[in-house]
Chains A and B, each alone.
Chain A
Amino acid sequence: MSGTTDRNRVFQTLRLLVVFVCILLTVRVVQIQVFAHDHYGQIAQVVWGKTVPLHPARGTLLDRSGNPLALSVTTWDVGVATSLMSDAAATAALVGEVLGVPSRELQQRLAQAKGRFLRLDQKVVLSRVQKRALDRDRSVTLDPVVTRVYPHDGVGASLVGFFRYGAGDTVATGLEYSLDSHLAGQPGVARLIKTPVGGRDLGHIVQQEPVAGQDVALTVDIALQGICEQQLAASIERCGAQGGSVLILDPRNGDILAAASWPLVPTRGGSHPDGAVWNNRNFISQYEPGSVFKVFSMASLLGNSAIDTATVFDCSDPVFEGYTIDNENHHRYGNLNLMRAFTKSSNIYFARAVGNLSDQEFYRDLVAFGFGQPTNLPYRGTVSGTLREPSQWSRRSKSTLAIGQEIAVTPLQLGLGLCAVANGGTLYAPRLVRAITDPGSERIEAGPPLALRRVMAPELAELLRVALGRVVKEGTGVDAKLDWITTGGKTGTAQVSLDGRTFARGAYMASFGGVVPLDDPRLVILTILDRPHGIYHFASQSAAPLFRDIIQEIRNETAWLTDVPGSRTAVVEAPSPRQQVEVPDVLFLGVAAAAQRLGARGFALAGAEREGLVVQQVPAPGTLCAPGATVELTVGPRQPQQMAEKSFCPDFHGLSDRQVRGLAGRLGIRVDLQGNGYATGQDVNPGEPLRGRAVRVTMEKVWP
């Protein structure tokens, strides 16, 4: 029996031992979990990976009709975890179909893959069905990669800017930068799971879901923007300018319809040495507008009854009391009334006329037009321009202001002022954002157009419009004239002031601010060319034709100017640019070459039954036609070799490059054009026999 109690004592001891150890463990647990909680919590922060932001879906930038200008797309990096692959053939077939790779080739790659994982393709766009199919195969890995896509690649780049996702070095420019507060959304927070195994991230735990950004619809019309950029680029090349800008506003509400700027960021990729290319000149750059500004001087003069339209000044003497203000072309006009002076852009007239105007009146009117004032445009870096107060004016300041000097304006300010003239005297605030839409909710209008103030009486605005029409009809703006629609506008040729005091020799800003159609203004277009070359420094030779070309293109490609009163060839149905193809130039080509060139654009041809050179084509080159249309060709006899050898050199002088080629083509002689513009010289004198050699024709950009 003693053995039993003895053993029971052993069991008691064991039980007590268990209790003791349990208490010991409890104490230790409490020590770790309660008293050392903070200590281990800090260690855990370091060891367990960090908190990472979750990028929200970035909002879409749309134009006024809902065309996406910038949108975020989720693409996928596709790979195969070969260690998990059960049926290589099935996986290869599935992935191959999605990626468009032959499954046999894929199977080989999978078989030869080293390691556990094989990356097959990057940034693949997957449909929902494809994604689901790939998800079903557990060996296929899909890693999402969000990329920003610009569907109209290039068009609008100077305005929209770009946004590039990056791990900490996110880059944004233009509106992508300026509207970031709307587009970005709220980033979420996730705990990243680092792992010591294999060094691969194992995903994350979402702590806070990201909130998607808002969609922003702009007032910009992508078609107009495209036309402006295209025409601006062509014009800059033609005029040898260093840059330029085109701004289109809707005078009825202040909407910015297009804002083209050059130079342009060539790629959306990386850095560009010239910081200026990131900015839209219409909002960022300020310049001395020159004679365009006379519109506002005239408004102030007439509005304050300082003069009337019949007031005549002698405009032959450029010398004022102690300073000189001359006309740009140094022409002496003699006595001029207001309309003539405006049409001829006489500096002397305006400089003398403002003598009847007090400093305060003039200054107040210019401020009312918004010059020197902020425009509150949601584009970062928009400047207010410079307009000094009368107390800081010198003796000649008022006179120089009247002709658009001693003042710096942005193209936007100038355009908004012209809008007031066009709409009968109301100054609108510029509108760039038309609507902001919250993710998953209804459309929120960003507010109606904001009319700031009345800056002139409707009668005065009407008078100014007549004056603008006169400029185009018979003044410096004749190159802005179109026969199918009435236009009005004012040229401005201002010397570029590089340091604010002296003017650079031969460096000019050529601008043209115009209204179309003049009777019922729908668009205000401001074209500016920075330092155009040679003869093109006159706005009448560069900015005005650009204005005209843009209007022509707007009619050809958009519905903005259809059914306009005063338009003689109203287009009944707006032709869609996508369905129209430009007829290529096949003049003076062989029949075979012409057929090939026309065929490539989808045109049929008629009248090419025999060999020879095409001497006539209907429709003419450059006409927009529906694809599949028949182009009627007239084929002349192929120029016999001996005929060219016997021919004599014609006189090319004064012909445009196109005319030179046409004449040479008709005569069957070869020409070698040097430069472009108009023919100023040729290395074979007119009338001399050619004997088959080519004529070298020197072309220059000068008025012939």
Chain B
Amino acid sequence: MRRKLRHLAGTLESTDLTLVFVVAGMLLYGLLMVYGAGSFNRHAATLVGSYYLISKHLVMIGIGLVIAGLLFRLDYHIFRHPVVAWSLLLIGDGLVALTLLTGGDRAINRWITVMGFSLQPVEMAKIALVTFVAGRVGGDRGRATASARDAGIALGCGVLPLLALLALQPNYGNAMVVVGMTVIILTVSDLPDRIRWSALVLPPVAVLLIIAISGKVRDRLEGVLKGLQEGGYGYQVKASLTGLGAGGWHGLGVGQSHNKFAFLPEAHTDFIYSLLGEEFGLLGTIPVIILLGLLLWRGYGIASRAGDGFGRCVAAGLTTGLAIYGLVNIGMVLGILPVVGVPLPFISYGGTAMVGCLAAVGLLLGIERNSRSYHLWKHRWKSRGVR
């Protein structure tokens, strides 16, 4: 019993509790909103019952927490093992490729359906990619450098194939996430400085490339620019702003949202932040921004403190993924960024993304635990004069 307690105390000591509470807070907001939005389903009015969405949401949170727990317990260095890294990468990319085959005639093929659950394999592929790239470009305590060849493999075998698949789907939101994560990982990696800084060139190049290739993205950008100038947004953003604005500073009240009655498409997923603002007002919107800020602050903190290059790269990559998700999502709901299909982490209804985000947090906490015990160990080692 005492041993168990001591073990628990040790676990708590080595856990970033702030991060845990931040995530718990966001999950709570999400539960409230998904419950409200789910009490109405536009396809069948109220006939499916109020618990349809919330129950699926809870199942996904459960799965995500289990995975996060496992990742927290597991030594994250296992992902650095070539066999694990390569096989995860291949599985991830393979599943994403599968969506292209099973998608049928749909214009957008992002999902595969397993046992009634629609899964977005890209969420798993992204984590696999982060660990793969980080494993290549982040050193460990033994070898603190990486070569240009590593960078080449990371980009050539990891990033480019996934980007290509995402472009085929098409899924620009996640392509943007992948590019962002890669840039940050490379920047904070153990690569030679010259290569590290040149990574910063990547995003503008990628963005320009995408704009050049895809007319759709160009149209959206123009739409946003026009919207910012004249207030002429697309339907979804208009509805989103209407909801937010009508909510005012104190909101319409819990469950009083109008937008959820099919005025705002995807109200419970990508546009849940608008719903939040409509029902809770500023009391909902500003705390969520603060929570998100705290989450990212802690995430980058974990990365900077990580015991080795691999951990640093993984933490930086995952945090960047969450950052792009969260900030872009809110920006898009507020009508200052184009509409790309990214969810608000821990709040949006969306099975796989929820699992992915929770898994990322699990990994982050694992890295923090590892680094804390490392620093602790170093501290004790020094104070005992071992070294």
* A25-B334 contact, Cβ under 8 Å, with A37-B248, A83-B44, A193-B258: yes
B244 in contact with A33 (CB, 8 Å): yes
Q: Closest approach, in angstroms, between the C-beta of A518 and any C-beta of chain B? A: 69
Among A14, A22, A40, contact of B245 (Cβ-Cβ < 8 Å): A40
Q: Closest approach, in angstroms, between the C-beta of A591 and any C-beta of chain B? A: 66
B289 in contact with A26 (CB, 8 Å): yes
Binds B, one of A41-49, A100-108, A414-422: A41-49
Q: Which residues on B sit within 8 Å (CB–CB) of A32?
A: 241, 244-245, 277, 334
* A33-B263 contact, Cβ under 8 Å, with A18-B293, A18-B300, A25-B334: no
Q: Closest approach, in angstroms, between the C-beta of B306 and any C-beta of chain A? A: 10
Q: Which residues on B sit within 8 Å (CB–CB) of A165?
A: none
Binds B, one of A196-204, A302-310, A490-498, A617-625: A196-204
Complex CA–CA separation, A8 to B188 (angstroms): 8
A43 in contact with B193 (CB, 8 Å): no
Which of chain B's residues 246-287 have a Cβ closer than 8 Å to chain A?
246-249, 256, 258, 261-263, 277, 281-282, 285-286
Q: Closest approach, in angstroms, between the C-beta of B286 and any C-beta of chain A? A: 6
> Does A444 have its Cβ within 8 Å of any Cβ on chain B?
no
Among B246, B248, B249, B297, contact of A18 (Cβ-Cβ < 8 Å): B297
B248 in contact with A84 (CB, 8 Å): no
B293 in contact with A22 (CB, 8 Å): yes
* A39-B245 contact, Cβ under 8 Å, with A22-B289, A32-B334, A81-B47: yes
> Does A169 have its Cβ within 8 Å of any Cβ on chain B?
no
* A43-B242 contact, Cβ under 8 Å, with A48-B263, A84-B47: yes
Q: Closest approach, in angstroms, between the C-beta of A667 and any C-beta of chain B? A: 78
> Does A388 have its Cβ within 8 Å of any Cβ on chain B?
no
Q: Which residues on A sit within 8 Å (CB–CB) of B293?
A: 18-19, 22
Q: Which residues on B sit within 8 Å (CB–CB) of A47?
A: 239, 242, 263
- Complex interface bits, A23-61 against B, C-beta within 8 A gives 1, otherwise 0: 011101110111011011101100111000000000000
> Does B327 have its Cβ within 8 Å of any Cβ on chain A?
yes
A203 in contact with B258 (CB, 8 Å): no
- Complex interface bits, B45-63 against A, C-beta within 8 A gives 1, otherwise 0: 1110000000000000000
Most A Cβ at <10 Å: residue of B46, B289, B312: B289
A197 in contact with B47 (CB, 8 Å): no
> Does B376 have its Cβ within 8 Å of any Cβ on chain A?
no
Q: Closest approach, in angstroms, between the C-beta of B86 and any C-beta of chain A? A: 27
Most B Cβ at <10 Å: residue of A19, A32, A44, A191: A32
Closest to A49 in B: B258
* A29-B47 contact, Cβ under 8 Å, with A11-B303, A195-B261: no
- Complex interface bits, A507-549 against B, C-beta within 8 A gives 1, otherwise 0: 0000000000000000000000000000000000000000000
> Does A459 have its Cβ within 8 Å of any Cβ on chain B?
no
A29 in contact with B258 (CB, 8 Å): no
Most B Cβ at <10 Å: residue of A21, A41, A197: A21
Q: Closest approach, in angstroms, between the C-beta of B344 and any C-beta of chain A? A: 12
B300 in contact with A11 (CB, 8 Å): yes
Chain A contact surface mostly: helix
Q: Which residues on A sit within 8 Å (CB–CB) of B277?
A: 29, 32-33
> Does B119 have its Cβ within 8 Å of any Cβ on chain A?
no
Q: Which residues on B sit within 8 Å (CB–CB) of A14?
A: 184, 300, 316, 320
A15 in contact with B300 (CB, 8 Å): yes
B245 in contact with A33 (CB, 8 Å): yes
* A29-B285 contact, Cβ under 8 Å, with A44-B245, A44-B258: yes
Q: Closest approach, in angstroms, between the C-beta of B336 and any C-beta of chain A? A: 6
A7 in contact with B312 (CB, 8 Å): yes
Among A10, A21, A84, A203, contact of B188 (Cβ-Cβ < 8 Å): A10
Complex CA–CA separation, A21 to B193 (angstroms): 27
Which of chain B's residues 178-207 have a Cβ closer than 8 Å to chain A?
184, 187-188, 190, 193
Q: Closest approach, in angstroms, between the C-beta of A151 and any C-beta of chain B? A: 35
Among B188, B301, B304, B331, contact of A25 (Cβ-Cβ < 8 Å): B331
> Does B81 have its Cβ within 8 Å of any Cβ on chain A?
no
Q: Which residues on B sit within 8 Å (CB–CB) of A196?
A: 262-263
Complex CA–CA separation, A47 to B238 (angstroms): 11
Which of chain A's residues 184-208 have a Cβ closer than 8 Å to chain B?
191, 193, 195-197, 202-203, 205
Q: Range of interface residues on chain A?
A: 35 or more
Q: Which residues on B sit within 8 Å (CB–CB) of A8?
A: 304
Among A6, A34, A36, A41, contact of B193 (Cβ-Cβ < 8 Å): A6
> Does A138 have its Cβ within 8 Å of any Cβ on chain B?
yes
> Does A3 have its Cβ within 8 Å of any Cβ on chain B?
yes
Complex CA–CA separation, A3 to B331 (angstroms): 33
Complex CA–CA separation, A598 to B327 (angstroms): 91
Q: Which residues on B sit within 8 Å (CB–CB) of A49?
A: 258
* A25-B330 contact, Cβ under 8 Å, with A11-B303, A15-B300: yes
Among B188, B190, B286, B304, contact of A26 (Cβ-Cβ < 8 Å): B286
B245 in contact with A11 (CB, 8 Å): no
Closest to A36 in B: B245
- Complex interface bits, A341-352 against B, C-beta within 8 A gives 1, otherwise 0: 000000000000
Complex CA–CA separation, A481 to B47 (angstroms): 71
Complex CA–CA separation, A196 to B262 (angstroms): 7
Complex CA–CA separation, A148 to B43 (angstroms): 34
B262 in contact with A195 (CB, 8 Å): yes
Q: Which residues on A sit within 8 Å (CB–CB) of B360?
A: none
Complex CA–CA separation, A144 to B355 (angstroms): 44
Q: Which residues on A sit within 8 Å (CB–CB) of B262?
A: 195-197, 202
> Does B243 have its Cβ within 8 Å of any Cβ on chain A?
yes
* A37-B245 contact, Cβ under 8 Å, with A22-B290, A25-B330, A195-B263: yes
> Does B125 have its Cβ within 8 Å of any Cβ on chain A?
no
Q: Which residues on A sit within 8 Å (CB–CB) of B303?
A: 11
B286 in contact with A15 (CB, 8 Å): no
* A33-B47 contact, Cβ under 8 Å, with A8-B304, A18-B293, A47-B242: no
Among B43, B243, B282, B297, contact of A30 (Cβ-Cβ < 8 Å): B282
- Complex interface bits, A138-158 against B, C-beta within 8 A gives 1, otherwise 0: 110000000000000000000
Closest to A193 in B: B261
Q: Closest approach, in angstroms, between the C-beta of B187 and any C-beta of chain A? A: 6
Among A24, A84, A195, contact of B42 (Cβ-Cβ < 8 Å): A195
> Does B68 have its Cβ within 8 Å of any Cβ on chain A?
no
A11 in contact with B248 (CB, 8 Å): no
Among A3, A15, A25, A203, contact of B297 (Cβ-Cβ < 8 Å): A15
Q: Closest approach, in angstroms, between the C-beta of A46 and any C-beta of chain B? A: 9
Complex CA–CA separation, A168 to B170 (angstroms): 51
Q: Closest approach, in angstroms, between the C-beta of B188 and any C-beta of chain A? A: 5
* A28-B336 contact, Cβ under 8 Å, with A7-B188, A11-B188, A44-B243: yes
Complex CA–CA separation, A18 to B248 (angstroms): 25
Q: Which residues on A sit within 8 Å (CB–CB) of B334?
A: 25, 28-29, 32
Q: Closest approach, in angstroms, between the C-beta of A60 and any C-beta of chain B? A: 32
> Does B292 have its Cβ within 8 Å of any Cβ on chain A?
yes
Closest to B191 in A: A3
Q: Which residues on B sit within 8 Å (CB–CB) of A26?
A: 286, 289
Q: Which residues on A sit within 8 Å (CB–CB) of B247?
A: 33
- Complex interface bits, B152-166 against A, C-beta within 8 A gives 1, otherwise 0: 000000000000000
Q: Which residues on B sit within 8 Å (CB–CB) of A36?
A: 245
> Does B363 have its Cβ within 8 Å of any Cβ on chain A?
no
Q: Closest approach, in angstroms, between the C-beta of B329 and any C-beta of chain A? A: 10
Among B46, B248, B290, contact of A34 (Cβ-Cβ < 8 Å): B248
In order of increasing CB-CB distance, the 4 nearest A-B pairs are A40-B245, A44-B246, A22-B293, A11-B304
Question: Interface on B for A, CB 8 Å cutoff?
Answer: 40, 42-47, 184, 187-188, 190, 193, 239, 241-249, 256, 258, 261-263, 277, 281-282, 285-286, 289-290, 292-293, 296-297, 300-301, 303-304, 312, 316, 320, 323, 327, 330-331, 334, 336
Interchain residue pairs with CB less than 8 A apart (7): A11-B188, A14-B184, A19-B297, A22-B327, A25-B289, A25-B334, A32-B245
- 17 additional A-B pairs beyond A32-B241, A33-B244, A197-B262, beta carbons within 8 Å, are A7-B304, A14-B316, A14-B320, A21-B327, A25-B330, A25-B334, A29-B286, A32-B334, A33-B249, A33-B285, A41-B245, A41-B248, A43-B242, A48-B263, A83-B44, A84-B47, A202-B42
